[in-house]
Amino acid sequence: MDGRFECEGARARIEALALAVSGLEAAPTAGAALLEAAVSAALGLCGRADVPRAMEPALGIMLGDLYREGLHHPVSSVKRGDTAITYAAGAGGLSDYRQLLMPFVRLRTV
């Protein structure tokens, strides 16, 4: 996954911001899977193959929400290939982050 990041140390910066946003002292045991899910979702939404340095704070906020909400909302399904974690009703969805990720969207061609 580290090949997707534009700058070295991106994973550590995103995880540190996620911890600050979530108010937790340590990442949950599923932290690596949640980071992968956040990165995959953001890149899919934005039509990108890389995470630019400017996008890291948005991912940190997304991951912090996943840390916090993932601890309180039961998981309704997990998909391993291409990593997908679905939470039960009431959990925030990807649409909550569209505004946050809007500056990084690339137009797709047909």
Can you give the residue ranges of every domain in the chain?
2-104
DSSP assignment string, the chain: -GGGBSSTTHHHHHHHHHHHHHT-SS--TTHHHHHHHHHHHHHHHHT-SSB-GGGHHHHHHHHHHHHHHHTTS-EEEEETTTTEEEEPTTS--GGGGHHHHGGG--PPP-
Beta carbons of 54 and 9 less than 8 angstroms apart: no
- Mind listing the pLDDT tens digit for each residue in 1-14? 466 888 899 999 99
- Mind listing the pLDDT tens digit for each residue in 48-98? 889 999 999 999 999 998 888 765 555 556 667 777 766 555 545 555 677
Instruction: Work out the pLDDT band at 17, boundaries 50, 70, 90.
Output: very high
